Structure 1
Amino acid sequence: MSFSTLKLSTPILNAIADLGYTKPTAIQQKAIPVVLAGKDIIAAAQTGTGKTASFVLPLLEQLNSQYKETGKKLRAKRIRALILVPTRELAVQVEASISQYAKYLDISSMAMYGGVDAQEQKQRLIWGVDILVATPGRLLDMTHQRVLHFDELDMLVLDEADRMLDMGFIDDINKIIERLPEHRQNLLFSATMSEEVRGLAKRTIHKPVEISIGADKASKPKIEQWLVTVDKANKSALLSHIITTQNWQQALIFIETKHGAAKLVSQLEKRGIVAESIHSGRAQDIREKILNDFKSGKIKFLVATAIAARGLDIGELSRVINYDLPAQVDDYIHRIGRTGRAGASGEAISLVSKDNFRELCAIESRLGHIIERKEFEEFPVKKTVPLSKLNYVTKYAASKK
């Protein structure tokens, strides 16, 4: 199947071609025709499956068709489509994709989020914006100030719905939905379908088409996963050793706390490894500059807290490192999903200390396989990390063959 078979117009197809896209992904093949038919959707799709284009492309097609029929008349403070996202980074990423896909269309878009001066965002809304990508908190703030109105809204997209709920946005989302027109098209995309996500969908979406994209062999990312057991006090020294001896040129390093991120950057730099950190405590303009420098290769090693995991979109990222194992298995899946994208291969490494044993067991259970363990003789482990139960189950099953 090609994009031309999905009934997208020439300007959109030309923009797709400019980006080098030749074949729609599984989620795009299933979702785009449904959205173009005007139906509501609940879609479960993992990170890196191309879900952004699966709702942006048909959204642009619908808006473009309406404007061709009626003539485009932007009204101040009115929007036609709203895309809610959990983080600033994801808002910027999604809006950038819209701009690329709408390259040959007269359709405007804007990313709106907190942490920056609101005056420029207010002015953009006064001029008129067709598609608004926003985080819930800043959107509600602007609504209370009567800077925008929803009476002409046709479509609502909830992107990374599970992450928004994890971050505590449910009350804000409900308040926003209460202000929207009753007759609208609703699209919900989520990496996981928890009871909370389904509850949100039930309150928001009517008679939806459900789409689920599994990680089949054709679409499964090519990610080599391995771990190193290490005493907690030796983590930063081990990481520095691996980066140096393996001659790594790039890595995205996930850590749990803002304080830990700053400390790790300092420890790496003392060993001659230049790194930067990105987390919610840094000003938005600094976060954006650091992220752009990492994407361009000016920064080789980026330390990020978990809150940024789904908002980061970095093409051809060679590896991710779990300096700290996350408490939630879903966070591990989303983190390693930053690499091995679009058919490329990637590497995911975890530094595991004894106090991470419970998290390791949960991760291996979800994956359904044991993560390969590697050792570095320069760092002998005093507090041994036990093997998870899955190791013994796997060995028993093998012995019975």
Structure 2
Amino acid sequence: MSKSRAPFRMPRDSPDDSVPQAAAKTNLLAWNQLGLWTELVEAMARLELQTPTPVQQLAIPELLKEPPQHLAFLAATGSGKTLAYALPLLQMLKQGEVFADYERRPKRPRLLILVPTRELVVQITSVIKSVSHSIKLSSCSITGGEDYGVQRRQLNRPIDVVVATPGRLTKHWKDSNLFLGSLEHIVVDEMDTMLEQGFYRELRQLLYPVLYHKQADQEINVEQDLDAKAPRIVLTSATMTQQIQKIIGDSDNKKNLVNAKRHHRKVEDAGFQVKVPMVLPRTKVLKAAGLHKTVPRLQQVFVDVGATDKLSLLVDIVSSGGSGAAVAASLTDQQALTMIFCNTAASCRAAQFALSEARIESLAYHGDLNSAMRSENLKRFRAAGKKNCDNALAEEPRVLVCTDLAARGLDVPQVDHIVMFDFPLNALDYLHRSGRTARGVGGDRTGNGRVTALISKRDKVLANAIEQAVLRGDTLDGLSSRKSDYLPGARLGNQGRPVNKKNTARRGGGSFAQGKKEQKRKSSSSRGPRR
């Protein structure tokens, strides 16, 4: 094909016969105006994605700009960040293959996507394959817990995209099963979670050799040590944490931070020692509207537990759940698809036991389960939420009891109800948990959702601050669980003022007392005594 000739078809006034019904629901022009090729636009039609989300409108044109520059974009959970980077980067790979006569070789991917969990790898790989099929690019996933030999054979062929967890990818790299010298783009998805879950060491080991002229354990001067042929770095996150800000050299808006539960851990062993902080090339930061805020269409209720038995209250909430705010019309006679968040695996087991006694089936998802069991339970939970499921799938449990392991990145758009059995320890976890519902969905679903949070005495300071911020429409930046931070003249003293009751009714929130009163009413009518 001639280099002067466009490799793909130009936009047409009407879609072709391959996507007639889907294209009728999709605004093809809105996608094409972002600079995407027609094949990718039609892939969006097949996925029934009607229009680009705000973060996609923000990030896609930026990633398509020449020359490429390092980019970090921040947006709320469920806002479409995966497609925001996948579409432009896949297009650039194909563009290089066609116009630059790039020769694909085994073991040498051109796009690497690093994510924190195995389940997220599977989810992103599915998105990549559904899109890259239209432009004939190959991809594979690399995670722990899977057959190492099978992965080695996958890599030992011409491969364009690798989606991986850092630990298993590092092992393949050290065993020379893949080489990073051909990388054009590196995406670090869920960067805040990567740092929180302790992938600091692996990120340095993988990124430094391809970015700099020094090794991972050496101090870096970005201006002097950056390789002229270094791949472009793309970071995504649902929150801007202090660690991310330091790594990318962003000194703007220092107050607009959400602190993580725990910082990245310092790793020291015989072969590696973190003596200096990790740094990345100077990165342009894009922030989508609604960052650090809960979704506006989310109904939130805070229930003061008081002296009530917390497990009995949980059973009452789940039993009286009925059909959720985002439930499909075909499932209105079934229990809402519900995720119950706990702070520990032991708390998950207690919650599951109480539900089992009340004859409510549930699935578990926490760190005490191996990866295969977690994947199987997540698969069953997703099957329960499918719109057009057969009888076998309809019988799957519609309740998932989980820790914060399920709060990052996982996309189950049919989730109707989030129950926080244990209140999170910080505002960051609240944002991630509540982001599992009210996700943008199509068809006969409204994209709404609801959150019910159980509040114990020790949770009231942070819960009250989050509640007031939500009712005002403010961000959750820097909220604290220390009462002294909200005293007059203190760091957050201006956020401790009471919320206007009119705002409470208008925004669909509910105070502690209101939640408790409503829950008692539901409890008395929803079921008899639990044996």
Which residue of 2 is the match for residue 187 of structure 1? Answer: 234
Give the AA of the match of 1:360.
Answer: A
Question: Is the Cα–Cα contact under 8 Å of residues 82 and 155 in structure 1 kept in the other structure?
Answer: yes
Distance 1:316 1:357 in 2: 30
Instruction: Please name the residue that 1:359 is paired with.
Output: 462
Deviation (angstroms), 1:22: 2.4
Aligned counterpart, 1:12: 40
Counterpart of 1:199, as a letter, is K
User: Any residues of structure 2 matched to 1:53-68 within 5 Å, and which?
Assistant: 53-68=83-98
Shift in Å, 1:242: 2.0
Residue matched to 1:144: 174
Partner of 1:178: 208
* Post-superposition offset of 1:391: 7.2
Match of 1:373 in 2: none
Equivalent residue letter for 2:418:
V
> Structure 1 pair 227/7, CA: closer, same or farther in 2 (3 Å)?
same
Q: Secondary structure at the match of 1:179?
A: helix
In 2 relative to 1, CA 215–138 (structure 1 residues): closer, same or farther, beyond 3 Å?
same
Q: Does residue 315 of structure 1 match 2:413?
A: yes
Summarize deviations over 1:171-190 as a string: whole Å, max 9, x none: 22111111225321111111
The residue type paired with residue 326 of structure 1 is P
CA shift at 1:359, angstroms? 3.2
CA distance in 1, matches of 2:408, 2:235: 16
Q: How big is each residue's C-alpha offset from its partner over 1:351-371, in whole Å with a ceiling of 9 and x where there is no partner? A: 11222223313433553649x
Instruction: Give yes or no for contact 1:177–1:204 (8 Å, CA) kept in 2.
Output: no
Determine whether 1:36 maps to 2:83: no
**2:324 is the counterpart of 1:245:** no
Larger radius of gyration: 2
User: Secondary structure at the residue paired with 1:102?
Assistant: helix
Q: How far has the Cα of 1:392 moved from its partner?
A: 5.0
Please, what TM-score do these two structures have when normalized by structure 2? 0.67
CA distance in 1, matches of 2:146, 2:246: 32
RMSD between superposed Cα atoms in Å: 2.6
The answer to whether the 8 Å contact 1:326/1:359 transfers is no
Give ranges in structure 1 of 5+ residues lacking alignment.
371-387
Q: Secondary structure at the match of 1:394?
A: coil
Displacement of 1:162 in angstroms is: 1.0
Does residue 254 (structure 1) correspond to residue 341 (structure 2)? The answer is: yes
Change (3 A) 1:255 1:232: farther
Q: Residue in 2 aligned with 1:199?
A: 246
Structure showing greater relative contact order (alpha-carbon pairs closer than 8 Å, 6 or more residues apart): 1
Secondary structure at 1:104 match in 2: helix
Residue identity (%): 30
1:340 equivalent in structure 2: 438
Displacement after TM superposition at 1:36 (Å): 0.9
Query: Would you tell me which structure has more strand in proportion to its own residues?
Result: 1
CA positional deviation for 1:35: 0.8
Question: Does residue 338 of structure 2 align to residue 263 of structure 1?
Answer: no
Query: Is 2:465–2:496's contact at 8 Å kept on the other side of the alignment?
Result: no
C-alpha contact (below 8 Å) 1:221/1:345 kept by paired residues:
no
Tell me what 2:370 maps to: 283
Larger mean Cα displacement after TM superposition, 352-361 or 302-311: 352-361
Going by fraction, where is helix more abundant, 1 or 2?
Answer: 1
Distance (Å, rounded) in 2 between the aligned partners of 1:21 and 1:316: 15
CA gap 1:220/1:272 in 2 versus in 1, 3 angstroms = closer
Q: SS of the counterpart of 1:127?
A: coil
Change (3 A) 1:242 1:361: closer
- 1:295 corresponds in structure 2 to 382
Gaps (5+ residues) in structure 2? Answer: 1-28, 212-226, 250-277, 323-334, 385-395, 441-445, 474-485, 488-494, 504-531
Alignment TM-score, normalising by the size of structure 1: 0.87
Instruction: Evaluate the alpha carbon distance shift between residue 118 and residue 233 of structure 1 in structure 2; reply closer, same or farther with a 3 A threshold.
Output: farther
Q: Paired residue for 1:213?
A: 288
Counterpart of 1:87 in structure 2: which amino acid? T
Q: Quick one: distance in 1 between partners of 2:301 and 2:123?
A: 29
Partner amino acid for 2:144? G
1:379 paired residue number: none
Aligned length: 380
Does structure 1 conserve the Cα–Cα contact (< 8 Å) formed by 2:321 and 2:336? Answer: no
